[in-house]
Amino acid sequence: MSSLSSSFVQIKHEDLRFYENCGGGSFGSVYRAHWISQDKEVAVKKLLKIETEAEILSSLSHKNIIQFYGAVLESPNYGIVTEYAGGGSLYEYLSSEQSEEMDMEQIMTWAMEIAKGMHYLHSEAPVKVIHRDLKSRNVVLTTDKVLKICDFGASKFQSHTTHMTVVGTFPWMAPEVIQSLPVSETCDTYSYGVVLWEMLTREVPFKGFEGLQVAWLVVEKQERLTIPTSCPPSFADLMKKCWQAEPKERPVFKQVLGTLETMSKDSRLPEQCNSFLHNKDQWRCEIDATLERLRRLERDLSSKEKELEERELRLRLWEERLMERSNFFSPIASGISSESFFRSQSQESNSAKISCLIRTLSNGERERERGNYEQCGFPAANCHVVLGPVSQKHRNKLIV
């Protein structure tokens, strides 16, 4: 363990009385429990082993970050013990009927609290942290409705971060995280924009789409969540800035806080925002229309992939037939390798030998299979060469 680990309060597993499962976190399940010796209600995230999450949490202290109490270091009962947020997750709240009571003041308060917690992680914590899995499920409410950011299982110390593996949840993930490219703290800004969209719409991001479908839409098609036309312009502008494809063009959280502060002073915003929140039926169809368009786009991709698979099968059959016929020729019988034979014959009269080989197939096969090669980017003049599987480069040509 590192020097940070030495600051852990080591909690005995027998000192915890477990109750119900509160949900799943990164790499573990979270339970409500009673810390017996301290007579305190806590949340315990059970883990297979203790890694960097405990180190990260032990270095943090902020009112909008879940409070770390200690860790259970007894194999196999590893766990992280934190404060228990009795209000559940923000995701659960937004999915409940209670969320219908939300107004502009509530959204602004929560938007500020999340931004303050993220600004602390990026700029004020003893060791700067990139969360990498900011989403409504990883923001919890205390009983008095204060928001706290939790679940640092996917997080990294910023100074240790260059390239990242793919972690997180696709609808909230920035394009560079999906692609395992080098990341900066603004990958969390992208996720923040999605959480803001959730609070405004009370909808599930990319509802009905699987993770890899979302990844394809976001990275390859540059798609983003639908911002209804009646959304207050200042909120719409902030979300669009958070979702810029280029990380350097996204605001850092100090800028986000400045923008929210300016918005809070806009006398027109409360009426705009409350009208938007309470007239969901008027703009919900815009989100539905976008989801249907994306489903059609994904179906088109699936159709193209099926066509590609069929084409690759035809190419493999063609290659097998070529190999069978090449084995029938005299070079094998005379002890000369096929490779040497084709190389020497190509130097003398390449086109004649190609014609001879191709004529062993029917005219219909020849034209059809020549077309297959040309469509895949192979010159027809080289069809005597036995090729391997279609490369990704050629696959991409077909998909496009």
Secondary structure of residue 210 in the 3-state scheme: coil
Secondary structure of residue 279 in the 3-state scheme: coil
- Residue 103 annotated to the active site: no
β-bridge partners, 149: 65, 139
DSSP letter string, 243-301: T-SSGGGSPPHHHHHHHHHHHHT-TTHHHHHHHHHT-HHHHHHHHHHHHHHHHHHHHHH
Nearest to 88 by CA among 39, 150, 179, 27: 150
CA distances from 106 to 230, 337, 342 (A): 19, 79, 77
Q: In angstroms, how far is CA 85 from the centroid of its own chain?
A: 26
Selecting among 15, 39, 103, 133, the annotated active-site residue is 133
Helices 186-201 and 253-264: crossing angle, nearest 10°? 30
Q: Which two tokens stand for residue 103?
A: 């107004």
Nearest to 287 by CA among 376, 350, 374, 198: 198
Q: Which two tokens stand for residue 296?
A: 């059609």
Catalytic residues: 133
